């Protein structure tokens, strides 16, 4: 059981898939063949346990990334990787800015909560930093966004499994 929870945590830490992959892997059982010869075996765990572990992990990722960006921003402004860093941060800003303009902090939560590629806590925390959100504002948006995403993915996983499993 501990090994399974560690696997879920590791999958959740993967950028671009985060809880979008770890929740289905945790809840479903059986084996799924993905492109490029990758095979993923579901763990068949209790959905409530998966939701709890993955949500907490994802919230922590947002906190870690948001705080690391503050630290690295000062050091990277004057380094040789400044160009790459600036491009990445500009991309995060462009993706998140329309949501914040329209909905404020709730926009960041919605951006984090959309279970689609290119959104999530990694981009959400970088974009929130670029937009100048305070730690408190980001933490509220992060928690709400992760809970939105985890709820949607859990419901879709359970429903899909019931319909097609």
In the chain, the number of structural domains is 1
- Encode pLDDT of 74-106 as tens digits: 766 666 666 776 777 777 777 777 777 788 888
pTM score above 0.75: yes
**pLDDT tier at 139, thresholds 50, 70, 90:** very high
Q: Are 16 and 120 in contact (CB under 8 A)?
A: yes
What is the residue-averaged pLDDT of the chain? 86
Sequence-distant (≥ 6) Cβ neighbours of residue 9 within 8 angstroms: 22, 53, 57
Spatial separation of the C-alpha atoms in residues 4 and 126, rounded to whole Å: 29
Share of the chain above pLDDT 70, in %: 92
Quick one: average pLDDT of 48-59? 97
Predicted pLDDT of residue 41: 82
Domain range spanning residue 141?
Answer: 2-164
Count CA atoms closer than 13 A to 40's CA, side-chain side: 18
Token pair, residue 80, equals 């040789």
Q: Which residue has the higher pLDDT, 90 or 52?
A: 52
Contact 99, 108 (CB under 8 A): yes
Tell me the pLDDT tens digit for each residue of 140-161. Answer: 999 999 999 999 999 999 998 8
Residue 81 is predicted with a pLDDT of 66
Q: Encoding tokens for residue 39?
A: 């095979």
Residues 116-137: tens digit of each pLDDT: 777 889 988 888 887 888 999 9
82 Cβ partners below 8 Å, 6+ apart? 76
| Dist CA 46 CA 41 (whole Å) | 15
* Cα 10 from chain centroid (whole Å): 12
């Amino acid at each position: 059981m501990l090994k399974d929870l560690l696997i879920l945590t590791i999958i959740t830490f993967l950028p671009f898939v985060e809880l979008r992959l770890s929740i289905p892997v945790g809840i479903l059982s059986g084996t799924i063949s993905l492109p490029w010869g990758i095979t993923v075996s579901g763990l068949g765990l209790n959905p409530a346990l998966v939701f709890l572990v993955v949500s907490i992990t994802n919230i922590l990722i947002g906190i870690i990334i948001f705080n690391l960006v503050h630290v690295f921003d000062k050091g990277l402004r004057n380094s040789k990787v400044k160009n790459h860093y600036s491009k990445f941060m500009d991309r995060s800003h462009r993706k998140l800015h329309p949501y914040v303009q329209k909905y404020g902090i709730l926009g960041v939560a919605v951006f984090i909560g959309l279970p689609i590629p290119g959104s999530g806590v990694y981009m959400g925390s970088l974009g929130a930093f670029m937009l100048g959100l305070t730690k408190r504002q980001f933490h509220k948006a992060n928690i709400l966004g992760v809970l939105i995403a985890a709820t949607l993915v859990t419901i879709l996983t359970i429903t899909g499994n019931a319909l097609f499993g």
